[in-house]
């Protein structure tokens, strides 16, 4: 995506939200946390009422557009498992493992219908093993590092993601502290 268009779009949305906050008489609209939720709701396509953890959405927002780089872990380039690891370390102060299969080993599997913002979503893309991971945001949206488009928000109901979706998972406190440190590459090959 063109950086200038992205910045212009963000400014436009920000100005609209500021304008809305200034003209609204509701006391909740003047709450900075609610304004942030509205802003991130517009950017990520998740209902503001589903946004329980503003820190999660702010972290994801700051990484949107970061290019994909296998093994990368900086804003110069990052892969899916390092992105989910960064989210958990920075937002939840928890370590979850260094690749998607290792991360799956450190979660309690949960049904798709029971996903909550911050849960991990796992995919088996053209493989019998887990090859991709993302962070569930709510309203069927998840953030991830796509090999073709970098850090982005996608929808679990899209045909591609529906086809390869494996399971959701919620990190277990006891397992995250003793995570098996396996730095083997995920071997991701996604859209």
Spatial CA neighbour of 134 closest among 83, 70, 62: 83
Selected catalytic residue, list 132, 161, 179, 190: 132
Residue with tokens 């892969």: 79
Rg (CA), the chain: 17
**Separation between Cα atoms, residue 98 and residue 107, nearest integer Å:** 13
**Separation between Cα atoms, residue 85 and residue 59, nearest integer Å:** 12
**Separation between Cα atoms, residue 56 and residue 92, nearest integer Å:** 8
Give catalytic status of residue 16 as yes or no. no
Q: Are 94 and 170 in contact (CB under 8 A)?
A: no
Compute how many other C-beta atoms are within 10 angstroms of the C-beta atom of residue 16.
13
Selected catalytic residue, list 144, 152, 179, 190: 144
Give catalytic status of residue 17 as yes or no. no
DSSP code, position 112: G
**Separation between Cα atoms, residue 99 and residue 17, nearest integer Å:** 38
Give catalytic status of residue 87 as yes or no. no
Selected catalytic residue, list 35, 36, 44, 80: 80
Task: Supply the residues annotated as catalytic.
Answer: 80, 132, 144
């Amino acid at each position: 995506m063109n950086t200038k268009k992205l910045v212009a779009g963000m400014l436009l949305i920000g100005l609209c939200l500021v304008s809305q906050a200034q003209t609204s008489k509701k006391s909740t609209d003047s709450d900075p946390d609610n304004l942030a939720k509205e802003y991130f709701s517009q950017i990520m396509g998740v209902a503001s009422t589903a946004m329980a953890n503003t820190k999660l959405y702010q972290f994801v927002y700051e990484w949107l557009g970061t290019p994909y780089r296998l093994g990368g872990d900086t804003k110069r380039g990052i892969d899916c498992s390092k992105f989910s690891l960064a989210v958990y370390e920075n937002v939840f102060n928890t370590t979850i493992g260094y690749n998607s299969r290792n991360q799956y080993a450190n979660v309690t599997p949960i049904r798709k219908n029971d996903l909550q913002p911050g849960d991990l979503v796992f995919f088996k893309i053209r493989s019998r093993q887990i090859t991709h991971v993302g962070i569930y945001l709510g309203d069927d949206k998840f953030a991830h590092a796509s090999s073709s488009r970098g850090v982005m928000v996608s929808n679990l109901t899209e045909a591609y993601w529906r086809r390869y979706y494996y399971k959701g998972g919620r990190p277990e406190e006891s397992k995250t502290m003793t995570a098996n440190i396996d730095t083997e590459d995920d071997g991701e090959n996604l859209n």
